[in-house]
Amino acid sequence: MPANWTKRIIGAALLAAIAGGLAWFAWPRPVLVDLATVARGPIEVTADDDGKTRVRHVYTVSAPIAGKVLRISHPLGEQGPSLHVGDEVIANQTVVALMQPTLPGFIDARSRDQLQAEVLAADASIQQQEAEVKRIEAALDFARTEFQRAQTLLRTQSVSAQAFDKAKFEVATSEAALASAKAQVEMRRAVRTSLAARLMDPANAAPSAEPMCCIRVLAPASGRVLKIIQDSETTVLPGAPLVDIGNPLDLEIVADLLSTDAVQIKVGAPVRIDGWGGPPIKGKVVRVDPAGFLKVSALGIEEQRVRVTIDFTDPPEAWASLGHDYRVIVHVTAWSAPDALTVPVSALFRKADQWAVFTDDNGRAKTVPIQIGHRNNRTAEVLSGLAAGDRVVLHPSDRITDGIRIAQRGVE
């Protein structure tokens, strides 16, 4: 009998152990979650976007005439000003470009024959006019002789006053005709020179293109060379851009923000600038353009953008490494509060038509509807529903329901 009782006791113990194990495995465990504490602190809402730096006043040096601009940056020993990006220039002193007259173009055979015939006609016209000059000179000599004879006869009263006046008139008329004829000769010679110049071709004109005939283009302002637009030697039209000049320390930032963000930004709003390779820099908004423009995003979405101009408030030493057309990321403050009750945005979810969170109520999840105000990418302002010190569930999954047991992840 004692042996039977021992076996029964052992069997009962094994059954109890098995039942306890099954109950332990079947018992619901708390869901592991991440918790955060609702607290008071500063919060700000920013409009974030890419921006770029630019020199506030950029001077573009243009070609004053049509001609050939020599190479601007070249090895030493070659012709030209030898200017490179980053070089310092002085207003009205530094030569930024040299320009030569444009070489004449080639002439087709028909045009050349026509011009040669016109040159021959001009030569004949000159000869004809020179002969006319000789004729008028002979007539003038005769008129002067007659005038002298009339003067002599007038002393002896052998000629009438009318005949004397006529002789004097003939001299004056011949002198005027001679001056006109000589002017005609000069005019026809000039026409002949113009026609001959049109017969020039690049091969004959090249020896005359010397540096002494060049036009020196000077820097309009002091600063540094930001960009050489036309580096190679080429023929340009009047007004063609050659070089950009500006002061690298006279920087500002421009950012094209969404119009929905721009309406909330005021002049003077603080700006945090980062993403440029250095520590964050402080700035402020100095201008919000009154007109927007259409811009297509990288995804092909049409967006209305507004240009916002930003000045640095930190000293130049903080952003001396920045240059013209550098990329930065701007965070423009649209709203801020120094002491607000905040909750992480990752704890929020929608329930019906309002926001809600799961709070930790003595180890169980509790759904709490809340009202929020301003929010940014990380935190939201709590207007009602929560108090400082409340613990909320971050990133609640579909396993979290009202009343379920929860435990903080990572806590034994």
Query: For the packed helices 161-197 and 109-155, what is the interaxial angle rounded to 10 degrees?
Result: 160
What band does 24 get if pLDDT is binned at 50, 70 and 90? low
Q: What is the pLDDT of residue 19?
A: 64
What band does 381 get if pLDDT is binned at 50, 70 and 90? very high
CATH code for the part of the protein at 109-200: 1.10.287
pLDDT by residue (tens digit) across 73-84?
Answer: 765 445 556 788
- Is domain 59-104+207-246 annotated with CATH 3.40.640.10? no
How would DSSP label each residue in 301-340? -EEEEEEEEEEE-S-GGGSTT--TT-EEEEEEEEEEEEEE
Q: What percent of the chain has pLDDT over 90?
A: 50
- Higher-pLDDT residue of 396, 163: 396
Q: Is 223 left (phi over 0), alpha (psi -120 to 50) or beta?
A: left
Residue 26 has pLDDT above 60, yes or no: no
As to burial, measured by CB atoms within 10 angstroms (0-12 exposed, 13-18 middle, 19+ buried), residue 412 is exposed
- C-alpha span between 45 and 263 (Å, rounded): 13
Is the fold of 31-43+339-408 the same as that of 45-55+248-336? Answer: no
Residue 391 has pLDDT above 80, yes or no: yes
The arithmetic mean of pLDDT across residues 134-161, rounded, is 82
* Contact partners, residue 47, CB within 8 Å, separation at least 6: 257, 258, 261, 262, 264, 265, 331, 332, 334
How far, in Å, are 123, 176, 183, 275 from residue 179 at the CA level? 20, 5, 6, 81
| Sign of the torsion angle spanned by Cα atoms 270, 271, 272, 277 | negative
- Higher-pLDDT residue of 129, 410: 129
- Higher-pLDDT residue of 409, 325: 325
Residue 343 has pLDDT above 90, yes or no: yes
- Is domain 45-55+248-336 annotated with CATH 2.40.30.170? yes
| Fold held by 31-43+339-408 | 2.40.420
Tokens found for residue 185: 């000769």
How far, in Å, are 91, 138, 338, 340 from residue 382 at the CA level? 59, 115, 14, 8
Q: What is the pLDDT of residue 60?
A: 93
On average, the pLDDT of the chain sits at: 86
- C-alpha span between 396 and 17 (Å, rounded): 37
Q: For 111-115, 227-231, 333-337, 370-374, which range has the lowest pLDDT when averaged over its residues?
A: 111-115
The arithmetic mean of pLDDT across residues 203-227, rounded, is 73
Residue 265 has pLDDT above 90, yes or no: yes
* Domain residue extents for the chain: 31-43+339-408, 45-55+248-336, 59-104+207-246, 109-200
pLDDT by residue (tens digit) across 266-303?
Answer: 999 999 999 999 999 999 999 999 999 999 988 888 99
CA nearest to 404, candidates 364, 363, 367: 364
pLDDT by residue (tens digit) across 89-109?
Answer: 999 998 888 888 777 777 788
pLDDT by residue (tens digit) across 182-210?
Answer: 999 999 999 988 888 888 776 665 544 44
